[in-house]
Amino acid sequence: RKNDFDVIIVGAGPAGLAAGYVLAKEGINVAIIERGIFPGSKNVMGGIFYRSSLDDLIPDFYKEAPLERHIIEQKVWFLSDDSMFSAGLKSERYNVEPYNCFSVFRAKFDKWFAKKVSDASAMIINETVVRELILKRGKVVGVRTDRPNGDLYCDVVISAEGVNSFLPKSLGLRKKINANNVALGVKEVIELPDKVINDRFGVSNSSEGVTIEITGPYFNEMRAMGFVYTNRNSLSVGIGAVIEDLVRLKMNPNDLLETLKSHPAIKPLVSGGETKEYMAHMIPEGGYYSMPKLYHDGFMVVGDAAMLVNSIHREGANLAIESGKLAAKTYIEARKKGDFSQRALSAYQKRLEESFVLKDLKTYKNLPKLLEEKKYLISKYPKFLIDAMYEIYNVDRVPKSEKIKLILNKAKKEIGYFSIIKDIFSVWRNLR
Ligand code: FAD
């Protein structure tokens, strides 16, 4: 049967849209199939969007895209039950165009991006679910959708369907997702007047924004990361926790979010606000070793479907865009030779290896395993740090030399000198 399209992309998130944009700009006949009523309608993100990967496709996009605030300060907060230790950077260098990153709402942002992609002449087919791949002698030749007579044929299918990616699974490119490799993220949008947000977060106008990433012993030994991001007239407040930990500690993510909002350092930030939206979504956090095989005859996998998330730096949408671009470039090269076999499409993996995407994921490749084995790293050490800082700031007529002795004794009793040396060595070895 004749092809309906050159390329069919499953999913109109940032990965699928980026691939579609590159292909359409080259005059390739591409369709993007999206199950939502419009791109962005089903998508959840914290959401901080990094500029550079999209700027490379659509220069100066930030001047027209629907963005909330550009971020001028990024902080990490370590919480214990009654305290908060803060680290971070506020810089005027982040306050000049073209900026580093922005807070966004995916429903608005993806819709805008999709319009750019369809203006470039890609066809976006909404409210359509891809049910399975169509194979011919083991090679992918199309997709079966839930529409009547909904089989569509093409040279190459790109799976950009996000974390639940069942198409790569159906080809045997990945195994069942392990509960240690996925987090469940929940998020609330809490409305507040922009002036209140400016005052609470110490910015001088409603286009400047702040991010706070939150971890520490307050969440017990749970691999959880909370966040508070400023939008123009609202805050995005949420938390993502590894599913294995939620099950092990019998925690419900909604309760976890309520616990976060009730902490004495967070409560004043959200107080008086009205919750406008509540969302939940999975985040693939397993890193490099959890990635599926990325290509097959007539098939490539991009974005969250390929587990391309750098959770420690909360980068996902930018990796999705970068991988979408590289898959599209690989198709364009393969088309010149008329060869869409695995051998030809394996160039996609090479392109990813040469880009920051896999270089970064490789840097942190051992981190998920390390945190799985030594969950106390994210609770014991921040707790010790908070207690030590408390002693140092607490002036109670105890001489400083005695305070230092006290802190060292605490370290010996609560963690142990030998364990500290072992942990430092193990973190160093795993991040080399
Ligand atoms: P998605 O955005 O998930 O898009 C996949 C699309 O495919 C969806 O639109 C879906 O409807 C569609 N689809 C799925 N199956 C089918 C099918 N069978 N047929 C048709 N359509 C289908 N990243 C950041 O960069 N910064 C952040 O601050 C950040 N915070 C996050 C906070 C949370 C709580 C979560 C959950 C994620 C966060 N991420 C963040 C990660 C980021 O959202 C993802 O990495 C990014 O959305 C991946 O894009 P994607 O295009 O691969 O997948």
Residue 43 is assigned to a structural domain of this protein:
yes
Tokens of 204: 């001088």
Strand order of the β-sheet with 156-159 is: 123-125, 30-33, 7-10, 156-159, 299-301, 295-296
All residues at 6 or more sequence positions from 120 whose CB lies less than 8 Å from its CB, including other chains: 20, 21, 24, 25
Backbone angles phi and psi of 129, in degrees to 5: -105, 130
The CATH number assigned to the domain holding 253 equals 3.30.9.10
In ligand 1, the atom with minimum distance to the C-alpha of 145 is 19
Residue 208 and residue 345 in one domain? no
Asked whether 20 lines ligand 1 (CB < 6 A), one says no
Q: Where in the sequence is the domain holding 390, given as residue range(s)?
A: 373-431
What CATH number is given to the structural domain containing 55?
3.50.50.60
Nearest ligand 1 atom to alpha carbon 165: 15
Tell me which of 284, 305, 328 is where a domain ends.
284
pLDDT in tens, the chain (432 residues): 799 999 999 999 999 999 999 999 999 999 999 999 999 998 889 899 999 999 999 999 999 999 999 999 999 999 999 999 999 999 999 999 999 999 999 999 999 999 999 999 999 999 999 999 999 999 999 999 999 999 999 999 999 999 999 999 999 999 888 999 999 999 999 999 999 999 999 999 999 999 999 999 999 889 999 999 999 999 999 999 999 999 999 999 999 999 999 999 999 999 999 999 999 999 999 999 999 999 999 999 999 999 999 999 999 999 999 999 999 999 999 999 999 999 999 999 999 999 999 999 999 999 999 999 998 999 999 999 999 999 999 999 999 999 999 999 999 999 999 999 999 999 988 887
Ligand 1 centre to CA of 160 (Å) is 9
Q: Is residue 90 part of a domain?
A: no
Alpha carbon of 397 to ligand 1 centroid (Å): 55
How confident is the model at residue 254, as a pLDDT?
93
Question: Cα separations (Å) of 53 from 56, 142, 318, 321?
Answer: 5, 29, 6, 6
Q: Is residue 223 part of a domain?
A: yes
Cβ contact 85:386 at 8 Å:
yes
The answer as to whether 84 is a domain residue is: no
Residue nearest to atom 6 of ligand 1 (CA): 11
Cβ of 48 closer than 6 Å to ligand 1, yes or no, is yes
Domain contains 323: yes
**Is there a single domain that holds both residue 161 and residue 201?**
no
User: In angstroms, rounded to a whole number, what is the distance separating the alpha carbons of residues 411 and 424?
Assistant: 14
**Cis, bond preceding 316 (omega within 30 deg of 0):** no
Q: Whose CA is nearest to atom 46 of ligand 1?
A: 317
Helix ranges (H only) for 202-277 are 243-248, 253-261, 267-270
Whether residue 140 sits in one domain with residue 28: yes
Give me the residue label for tokens 């967070």.
266
| ipTM score over 0.90, yes or no | yes
Residue 276 parent element (H or E)? strand 274-284
Ligand 1 contact, 35 CB (< 6 A): yes
Residues 6+ apart with CB under 8 A from 226: 213, 214, 215, 219, 237, 238, 239, 257, 260, 266
Is 136 among the domain residues?
yes
| Residue 1 within a domain | no
Predicted confidence at residue 430, as pLDDT, reads: 86
**Residue 113 lies inside a defined structural domain of this protein:** yes
Omega of the bond prior to 193 within 30 degrees of 0, cis? no
Residues 171 and 186 in one domain: no
The answer to whether residues 26 and 131 belong to one domain is yes
Are residues 118 and 166 located together in one domain of the fold? yes
What are the residues facing 185 on neighbouring strands? 240, 281
Helix pair 317-337, 347-354: axis angle to 10 deg: 140
The reply to whether ligand 1 has any atom less than 6 angstroms from the CB of 320 is: yes
Instruction: Give distance in angstroms: CA of 186 to centre of ligand 1.
Output: 14
Q: How far is CA 73 from CA 16, 182, 206, 368, 377, in A?
A: 30, 28, 14, 27, 26
Domain co-membership, 303 together with 347: yes
389 lines ligand 1 (CB under 6 A): no
Is residue 145 within 8 Å of residue 130, measured between CB atoms? yes
368 lines ligand 1 (CB under 6 A): no
Q: Which atom of ligand 1 is nearest to the CA of 47?
A: 28
Domain stop point among 236, 268, 284: 284
Answer yes or no: do 224 and 305 share one domain.
no
Classify the C-alpha dihedral 51-54-58-59 as positive or negative: positive
- The span from the CA of 50 to the CA of 253, in Å, is 26
**46 within ligand 1 shell (Cβ under 6 A):** yes
Q: Is 18 in the pocket of ligand 1 (CB under 6 A)?
A: no
Claim to verify: residue 293 and residue 249 sit in the same structural domain = no
Helices 317-337 & 356-363 angle (0-180, nearest 10): 130
Beta-carbon contacts of residue 336 (< 8 Å; ≥ 6 apart): none
The H or E element that residue 155 is part of is: none
Question: Which of 284, 319, 341 marks a domain boundary?
Answer: 284
The answer on 233 and 200 residing in a single domain is: yes
Residues 323 and 387 occupy one common structural domain: no
Cβ–ligand 1 contact at 124 (below 6 Å): no
Q: 425 C-alpha vs ligand 1 centroid, how far in Å? A: 35
Kindly report the backbone phi and psi dihedral angles of residue 115, in degrees, each rounded to the nearest multiple of 5, phi listed first: -65, -40
C-alpha dihedral sign at 167, 171, 174, 179: positive
User: How many domains does the chain fold into?
Assistant: 3
Atom of ligand 1 nearest to the CA of 316: 45
What is the rounded distance in angstroms from the CA atom of residue 14 to the CA atom of residue 309?
Answer: 13
Tokens of 31: 């369709």
Q: Which structure tokens are listed for 141?
A: 């030749």
**Taking a C-beta distance cutoff of 8 angstroms, is the pair 131, 146 a contact?**
yes
How many angstroms separate the CA atoms of 84 and 352, rounded?
39
Say yes or no: 15 and 137 in one domain.
Answer: yes
